[in-house]
Amino acid sequence: MDIRRTILWMILSFSLLLLWNNWQTYNGKPSMFGPSLTSETVDPAVQAAQTQQNDVSVPNAAAAVSPTAAASAVPGEQAPAPVQAEQVEISTDVLRLTFDTQGAQLVRAVLPFYKVSSKSDEPFTLLDRRAGYTYVAQTGVVGAPQGQSYPTHLTPFHYIGQQQREGRTEVSFEATSDDVRVVKTFILAPASYDIQVRHEIHNLSDSAIQPSIYLQLERDGNEPGGSSFYSTFTGPALYSAEDKYQKIDFSDLDKGRHNYTRDANNGWIGMVQHYFASAWVPEQGLQRHNEALRIGDNLYAIRTLVSAGNIAPGEAVAVDANLWVGPQDQDAMSDLAPGLELVVDYGWLTIIAKPVFKLMTWLHTLLGNWGWTIVALTVLIKLAFYPLSAASYRSMAKMKKFTPRMQALREKFGDDKVKMNQAMMELYRTEKINPLGGCLPMLVQIPVFIALYWVLLGSVEMRGAPWILWIQDLSARDPWFILPAIMMATMFLQIKLNPTPPDPMQARIMMLMPLIFGGMMFFFPAGLVLYWVVNNILSIAQQRFVMHQIDKADAAAKR
């Protein structure tokens, strides 16, 4: 019983610490568990000038892709002549894109199917370059001889125009620098967040060249919002068949740590945040070199460099890649590239979480509402684990039956803990009571429940999805706090159904648990709270049913 008391004290202490820490961060104060990334407001014009003068923003690709090759000069050592950049806007049914003719960069991506929040009709913007926010997609050609520079994302491009071909929109830009002409074409398909990007490299010189293409995502280190009461990853990520999915913390880049796959002939690179992602996917089978680095104050980049091979004088080579800009749609992303769906990161419980998500999507095809899908999924999981739950409830019912005798032992031995524990163990032995019998079956279910938690937290399908009445966004907290209040009430009822701990202190701690966890749920997404409410209600129903069966059996035995 002392062990149980210690565990309860640990849970209570940790819960209170977590609650206080999250309240502090929620009010803008630093976390007790480590530094948080700070937001910086940067003037876009100043930032652009700094980027032009920052060598690290443009890779030295020839040496990186082919380590034995001679290192070429890094483009961008001097800022290009000032030009009036042109903004080119292109729209599909799911994307509104803005390109900047300086470098033919993708500097803005609006997703009209997703809103900023359930309280706003403003469409969500993923990529953008504005005061206090930088997140853009860039490409360029490097590998020029010393003193020369091929077109990069700092080079002024000319907008050629757009055309429709086979139902797709093609947007083209071109630039020429040091006898190399680059035609960059973005190909957009309807109802798709996948953008095909083609680089045509024309060698206008009288000697062969060996350039490389770099595909780059640049963003600041600011968190994109969310709740302080749960944490999701924001930052660079990459994948290779050899080392699988790897995440890179901004803090590691600040410290110069580089623990990720540098060279591969497959995979992708990306930037990940809650619900959304961007990723560059080069052609599989081509050797590439990956880099993640800090390129300025609160500014980071991840890029991959792919060799374009040898281009003879007067010849041209086309290098294709795909750019994903949109929600973390697992089915569409897995079709685009192996492992791309792993941006929805379930951690070490992926083996359980993926089947749970598949089951959820199937249920949604039948029900058409993600709220009712959560309810149905919780019912199915509770039914699947009913044998374990029933065993737990029987054990707790047996413990409850002997609670008066345990209390009598406590009164008899008073403060003599040794004799009291000996008497308790003797009671357990003679009555064949397992004090952990009510806990062990529940422990088996914990991984499934945690996996379901991450599925509900990470699924973009929950974002903006309504349930009923006042719940119009399952990814946002309950605006009227009705679900958290119901959760606390059901937790209190569960505690009342369970045997009262003989130790008064343990009993008081147990009564505090609904207040602590219920209070935290005030800040959690409504979809997660809905799951816990339904789970609690089903647990109470199952426990009442098992106890009724036990009472019937006892009554029959007395006849």
- Rounded Cα distance between 246 and 321, Å, is 21
| Per-position DSSP letters for 276-302, written without gaps between them | EEEEEEEPTTS-EEEEEEEEETTEEEE
Fill in the amino acid letter for 278: S
Instruction: Summarize the confidence of residues 54-79 as an average pLDDT.
Output: 46
- Rounded Cα distance between 437 and 440, Å, is 6
List the end-to-end C-alpha distance of the chain, in Å, as a whole number: 36
- 169 close to 152: Cβ distance less than 8 angstroms: no
Of the two residues 65 and 451, the one the predictor is more confident about is: 451
Burial label for 524, CB within 10 Å (0-12, 13-18, 19+), is: buried
SS3 457: helix
| Per-position DSSP letters for 36-68, written without gaps between them | -PPP----HHHHHHHHHH-GGGS--HHHHHSTT
Contacts 24+ apart (CB under 8 A), 413-416: none
- Rounded Cα distance between 223 and 221, Å, is 7
Q: How far is CA 253 from CA 19, 221, 302, 456, in A?
A: 30, 10, 10, 30
Q: What is the token pair recorded at 152?
A: 């990069």
- Rounded Cα distance between 316 and 363, Å, is 51
Cα dihedral value 244, 248, 253, 255, nearest 10: -90
Q: What is the token pair recorded at 256?
A: 């110069």
- 140 close to 355: Cβ distance less than 8 angstroms: no
pLDDT of 92 higher than 60: yes
- 276 close to 460: Cβ distance less than 8 angstroms: yes
Fill in the amino acid letter for 152: T
- 495 close to 517: Cβ distance less than 8 angstroms: no
- Rounded Cα distance between 478 and 257, Å, is 40
Give pLDDT, residue 217. Answer: 97
- Rounded Cα distance between 327 and 42, Å, is 27
What residue ranges do the domains of the chain occupy? 44-342, 352-553
- 147 close to 74: Cβ distance less than 8 angstroms: no
- Rounded Cα distance between 239 and 279, Å, is 10
Give pLDDT, residue 42. Answer: 35
Question: Could you say which DSSP state residue 340 is in?
Answer: G
Give pLDDT, residue 74. Answer: 34
The predicted-structure confidence for 484-516, as pLDDT tens digits, reads as follows 889 888 888 877 776 565 556 666 766 677 777
Of the two residues 42 and 482, the one the predictor is more confident about is: 482
Stretch among 36-40, 171-175, 285-289, 547-551 having the lowest mean pLDDT:
36-40
Q: Residues 6 or more apart from 8 whose CB is under 8 A from it?
A: 506, 509, 510
Instruction: Summarize the confidence of residues 193-207 as an average pLDDT.
Output: 96
Give pLDDT, residue 454. Answer: 84
Q: Residues 6 or more apart from 342 whose CB is under 8 A from it?
A: 239, 244, 245, 350
Instruction: Summarize the confidence of residues 79-104 as an average pLDDT.
Output: 84
Q: Please name the residue that has the structure tokens 């060698």.
A: 203
Q: Residues 6 or more apart from 552 whose CB is under 8 A from it?
A: none
Q: How far is CA 230 from CA 18, 245, 264, 363, in A?
A: 11, 22, 34, 26
pLDDT of 160 higher than 70: yes
Q: Residues 6 or more apart from 140 whose CB is under 8 A from it?
A: 58, 75, 103, 150, 151, 152, 153, 154, 155, 213, 214, 216
Share of residues in the chain with pLDDT > 70 (%) = 74
Q: Which helix (H) or strand (E) holds 397?
A: helix 386-401
- Rounded Cα distance between 90 and 278, Å, is 18
The predicted-structure confidence for 297-325, as pLDDT tens digits, reads as follows 999 999 999 999 999 999 999 999 999 99
- Rounded Cα distance between 536 and 486, Å, is 10
SS3 321: strand
Q: pLDDT category, 103, cuts 50, 70, 90?
A: very high
- 203 close to 315: Cβ distance less than 8 angstroms: yes
- Rounded Cα distance between 389 and 30, Å, is 41
- Rounded Cα distance between 186 and 163, Å, is 11
Q: What is the token pair recorded at 300?
A: 């980071």
Give pLDDT, residue 5. Answer: 45
pLDDT of 235 higher than 80: yes
Instruction: Summarize the confidence of residues 80-100 as an average pLDDT.
Output: 84
Q: pLDDT category, 1, cuts 50, 70, 90?
A: very low
Give pLDDT, residue 439. Answer: 61
| Range 44-342: architecture per CATH | Distorted Sandwich (2.70)
